[in-house]
Amino acid sequence: MPRIVSVGTGVPEHAISQVETMEFAKQLFSGSVKDIERILNVFHNGEIEKRHFVKPLEWYRQNHSFSNKNDEFIHLAISLSIESIKNCLESSNLLRQISYEEIDAIIMINTTGMATPSLDARIMNKLPFSQNTKRIPVWGLGCAGGAAGLTRAYEYCRAFPDAKVIVVAVELCSLTFQKHDLSKSNIIGTSLFADGAAAALVVGDEVNRHEILANRIPAIIDTQSTLMKDSLDIMGWNIRDNGLYVVFSKDIPSIVKEWLKPEVEQLLIHNQLTISDISHFIAHPGGKKVLKAYEKALGFAPEKTALSLDILRKYGNMSSATVLFVLERFLQQEINHGDYGIIAALGPGFSSELLLVRWE
């Protein structure tokens, strides 16, 4: 069974409090949006305390073309990705540093900017990866991307059991901000989304884990990807001349309550398990309401989502990278041998990505 052996993260230097961001939104939208004071309650109710952005707040008051924002995305996403990769390969969870030449494949996840050649090629021109490292760029999975990247790494390591694969997720959600978009979705997105990068190292069965591992780690037992039919308008982007405009349905928490449990049960039944067997829930924190919907759907106590909520408070929703921030926190915990966990993330489509893991 492929195993997740380390995670590294990186965030931009501009740490902005939720109070500052709310005041920014109030000044920007108060003259144009009806009931702005009521809508701004989402900044209070989401329990986010601060977030990290690649630019100071004043930059977002100015007009920027789509091409300018995308150029900034490429430049800044590369530097943040490199930071997360270095932190992953030099993690304290490892007995020794993993060299770049040892990495067989890079799975590159992002949704908030576009680049051809893809980001992985640009990163390989700055870090000494082997020129034969496989490049697997994946675009458009949104918040589900981090979990989906782990699944692709699992599949790669099943096919090539001596492989070491690094999953890199980087999202600069702030660069998609549209200051002239007066929709409620845009204001909710402004209260929620943030910037960050994370990298996870997954290794196959034939890798000598005892040579590199210091702690218990999660083995990936099984995975499940699910697409809800006729749900394209629940989450995603509308791509227009000025860039990416957020699509964010208010019905997401209620959909999670009704839809998620049967999907989780299907994965568990396939592995002769039940929800009561799950000790740890590594959930992408899409928002406070989404975390509460997870709890209600699966019958979990708030303690099961506490680490996800803490990441949400300190970093906001960094789309695909966020679940890997949560996973990093789990790797820092002393978890009992044999404990089961589920890694879960939801994204555009509408879709779910689930991984069943067991600590060894």
pLDDT in tens, 297-353: 999 999 999 999 999 999 999 999 999 999 999 999 999 999 999 999 999 989 999
What CATH number labels 218-359?
Answer: 3.40.47.10
From CA 174, how far away is CA 195, in angstroms rounded?
Answer: 6
**How high is the pLDDT of residue 346?**
94
From CA 224, how far away is CA 353, in angstroms rounded?
Answer: 6
Whether 3-212 shares its CATH topology with 218-359 is answered yes
Q: Are 245 and 187 in contact (CB under 8 A)?
A: no
3-state SS class at 54: coil
What order of strands is seen across the sheet that includes strand 351-359? 134-139, 105-110, 164-172, 195-203, 3-10, 218-227, 351-359, 340-347, 278-283
- Type of residue numbered 329: R
What are the tens digits of pLDDT across the range 137-176?
999 999 999 999 999 999 999 999 999 999 999 999 999 9
- Would you call 88 a catalytic residue per the annotation? no
What letter does residue 305 receive in the DSSP assignment? G
Q: At 104, give phi and psi (nearest 5°).
A: -85, -30
Instruction: Output the tens digit of pLDDT for each of the chain's 360 residues.
Output: 999 999 999 999 999 999 999 998 888 887 777 778 788 888 888 889 999 999 999 999 999 999 999 999 999 999 999 999 999 999 888 878 899 999 999 999 999 999 999 999 999 999 999 999 999 999 999 999 999 999 999 999 999 999 999 999 999 999 999 888 888 788 888 899 999 999 999 999 999 877 887 678 999 999 999 999 988 888 888 888 888 888 888 788 888 888 899 999 999 999 999 999 999 999 999 999 999 999 999 999 999 999 999 999 999 999 999 999 999 999 999 999 999 999 999 999 899 999 999 998
Domain spans, the chain: 3-212, 218-359
Would strands 50-53 and 105-110 be described as parallel, antiparallel, or unpaired?
Answer: unpaired
**How high is the pLDDT of residue 214?**
61
* Rounded CA Rg of the chain: 20
Q: Where are the alpha helices (DSSP H) in the chain?
A: 18-29, 36-39, 41-45, 66-89, 119-124, 145-159, 184-192, 209-212, 252-270, 288-298, 306-315, 322-331
Q: How is domain 3-212 classified at the CATH fold level?
A: Peroxisomal Thiolase; Chain A, domain 1 (3.40.47)
What letter does residue 61 receive in the DSSP assignment? G
From CA 211, how far away is CA 207, in angstroms rounded?
Answer: 9
pTM of structure: 0.95
Q: Which two tokens stand for residue 210?
A: 């005892």
